[in-house]
Each structure stands twice: as C-alpha cells, then as structure tokens.
Chains A and B, each alone.
Chain A
C-alpha cells in the first residue's frame, strides 16, 4: 500500500525565517494536496499539485511536486505566527484519482516564535 512520509515531524522557527516541509511517497503520486490544520480543528486547503515539476504559490507559501512525482515540498518564506499549525500532505491512492480517497502523511507541527 502507498505511504506518505513527512519530514520533519515538528519544527520550531523564529518569526521571519524560511522553512521547508517535505512529503515523500512510496509510490508515484497522482496528485498531491497540502492542508493546514489548527489544533483540534478541520483541514484548510492550501494547494493542489498534479503535474511533475508543477509549482504553485499562495501568499508566502510555495509548494512543488518533483519531476518524478514521488516527492513534494512546501516552503514558507518569512514565517509569521499565523503560519503555526499542523501541515498535512495528502494524496489519492492508486486507482482513486477521481474518487476522493486520500491517504495522508503523519503531519508536521510548526511553531513560529515571535
């Protein structure tokens, strides 16, 4: 079965610093979703990547899917306390690219110190 592994598991950065979170798949990715979750709450959609080499940005967050489509990275520039939370990568499993079944990485907990 396909698995997603995120690194690091947790991260503490000083406000204003840049950071990167990685998501590595054990199999080819047919799409990759990044979500942010505040403690005890639902998931907020950040970005969706589908093509190898694709890169998307929103405000200070950039996500990229590598050419081989087995890894994605999420980069935050000039981090702010509002960026704190749990970042989750999710991917449709083989054969389910149109059915909505996602598997998730274990999450990366980000703390931003003012």
Chain B
C-alpha cells in the first residue's frame, strides 16, 4: 500500500487568509481524495483529484473555497481559502488503488482564529 506524507501537520491561521496543504505519495496513484473532519465529527469527502483534470467536488464544497491541484501522479495540494473559524478542522488526503486498502495521510489540524 502507498505511504503518504502530508504537511503541515497543524497550523493556526488568521481569518481571511489561505492555507495550502500538501500530500506526497511514494507511488503513482490515479486518484487522490481530500476529506474534512470537523471537531467531533466523522470524515466528509471534499473532492476527488485526478491528475490532468479538474477535481470533482462533493455537494456543499466549491472550487473557489477549496481549490485543488494535481500536477502529477504522486502529489496534490488542497487550499483552504478566505478562512473563517468554521473551517477549523482536520484535513486528510487519501489514496486507494482498486481493492487495496485506502491509505490516509497523517492529517492537518487547522485552527482559524
């Protein structure tokens, strides 16, 4: 299974600013996934990032707020734009190959003040 390096592990940001989260995978994967975990809640899928095409966003998430880049098969970024305290969450990236287990990054714990 793939190994994912995610950074930063945590950050405290001012409202109105943006934060970019990076995920680096040790092998090539077709799709990468970005999840959000709000305090005390379970994981919710934000979007699916395919290399060479625009990300596909789930209901309730928009590209202007969560722009995603996928420049190659081993790397992706998620930006949380114009942040507000409601964006305080853990953000996780994930990859999966067919019926292999789905691996998650270590998460980015974001606090917006």
Q: Are B45 and A101 neighbours in the complex by a CB distance under 8 Å?
A: yes
Q: Number of A residues contacting the other chain (C-beta, 8 Å)?
A: 23
Q: Are B43 and A101 neighbours in the complex by a CB distance under 8 Å?
A: no
Q: Bound complex: CA of A102 vs CA of B46, how far in Å?
A: 11
Q: Are A97 and B99 neighbours in the complex by a CB distance under 8 Å?
A: yes
Q: Are B107 and A99 neighbours in the complex by a CB distance under 8 Å?
A: no
Q: Chain A residue with minimal CB distance to B104?
A: A43
| Complex partner residue of A41 from B43, B45, B97, B106, CB under 8 angstroms | B106
Which residues of chain B have C-beta atoms less than 8 A from A41's C-beta? 106-107
Overall SS of chain A's interface: loop
| Complex partner residue of B101 from A45, A99, A101, A104, CB under 8 angstroms | A45
The listed residue with most A CB atoms (<10 A of its CB), out of B33, B42, B90, B107, is B42
Q: Chain A residue with minimal CB distance to B56?
A: A101
10 nearest A-B pairs in the assembled complex, by CB-CB distance: A100-B96, A42-B106, A42-B107, A43-B104, A104-B42, A104-B43, A106-B42, A42-B104, A48-B101, A45-B101
Q: Which chain A residues (60-113) contact chain B, with CB distance < 8 Å?
A: 88, 90, 97-107
Count CB-based A-B contacts (< 8 Å): 61
7 more CB-based (< 8 A) A-B contacts, given A42-B92, A99-B48: A41-B106, A48-B101, A90-B102, A99-B96, A100-B94, A100-B97, A101-B48
The listed residue with most B CB atoms (<10 A of its CB), out of A31, A42, A50, A99, is A42
Q: Chain B residue with minimal CB distance to A106?
A: B42
Closest CB of chain B to A93's CB: distance in Å?
9
Q: Are A100 and B95 neighbours in the complex by a CB distance under 8 Å?
A: yes
Q: Bound complex: CA of A90 vs CA of B112, how far in Å?
A: 28
Q: Are B99 and A31 neighbours in the complex by a CB distance under 8 Å?
A: yes
Q: Are A101 and B33 neighbours in the complex by a CB distance under 8 Å?
A: yes
Q: If A101-B33, A105-B42 touch, does A43 touch B99 (CB 8 Å cutoff)? A: no
Q: Bound complex: CA of A102 vs CA of B33, how far in Å?
A: 9
Q: Bound complex: CA of A40 vs CA of B45, how far in Å?
A: 17
Q: Chain B residue with minimal CB distance to A105?
A: B42
Q: Are A43 and B92 neighbours in the complex by a CB distance under 8 Å?
A: yes
Q: Chain B residue with minimal CB distance to A97?
A: B99
